[in-house]
Structure 1
């Protein structure tokens, strides 16, 4: 499928998937430590 629109959608989907996996990785990691500056929350989660 040589559709540039489909290629664009595939790139966006890959980007969103990568972003979601990184966010989930940061969220699952609940061990006490320095707050992640990317999401900007300084308060430790209970």
Structure 2
């Protein structure tokens, strides 16, 4: 029984870690896109 609970907790932790990393990746992507857009606008002027 205890092992099963541990496994369940580990699974939850893994899912949380994955979702957090994905969120971070998305944030980084958004930041990079906005910075590239800024660069484009700067080069245009």
Q: Sort the TM-score into its range (normalised by shorter chain).
A: 0.5 to 0.7
RCO (CA 8 Å, sep 6+): is it higher in 1 or 2?
1
Residue segments in structure 1 that go unaligned for 5+ positions in a row: 33-46
| Poorly superposed stretches of 4+, deviation over 4 Å | none
Q: Which has the larger radius of gyration?
A: 2
Residue segments in structure 2 that go unaligned for 5+ positions in a row: 1-11
The TM-score, its normalising length taken from structure 1, stands at: 0.60
Q: Which has the higher helix share?
A: 2
The TM-score, its normalising length taken from structure 2, stands at: 0.61
Aligned residues: 32
